[in-house]
Amino acid sequence: MGRGEPPLDFNPLAMEWFYAKGISLIAVHGEDAQLYPHADTSGHLGHCDHVLSLMAEKKLQPSRLITHRLHYTEMVQAYEMAYAREKSMLGVIFNWRE
């Protein structure tokens, strides 16, 4: 649920799932990443290699998050959509060519 948004019918990150089902959500960055050896993410190149390998395996598909492609002159429109919480907008790519 976002700011000013009504509750969802189902929230996969609701605390009841974490407590009742014993689910853990672990997000690490920097030096502590070495504590989780499932991925070699040592340094920035390690992070890039890991992300690219997930993309190659089709386990991570960032293109699904791109919902709009706009010319840079339409940037105000993108901000207005974000401000209005436009449901159809997830990610925007701006074309910087003239």
Residue numbers of the domain that contains 48: 1-60
Cβ burial 17-32 (10 Å sphere, 16+ → b, else e): eeeeeeeeeeeeeeee
**Which SS3 state, helix, strand or coil, does residue 52 take?**
helix
Q: Are residues 68 and 52 in the same domain?
A: no
Q: Are residues 41 and 8 in the same domain?
A: yes
Q: Are residues 51 and 65 in the same domain?
A: no
pLDDT score for 96: 92
Q: Are residues 30 and 69 in the same domain?
A: no
Cα 72 to Cα 98: distance, rounded to the nearest angstrom: 9
Q: What is the pLDDT of residues 69-98, one digit of tens each?
A: 999 999 999 999 998 988 888 899 999 988
Q: Are residues 48 and 1 in the same domain?
A: yes
Q: Are residues 35 and 72 in the same domain?
A: no
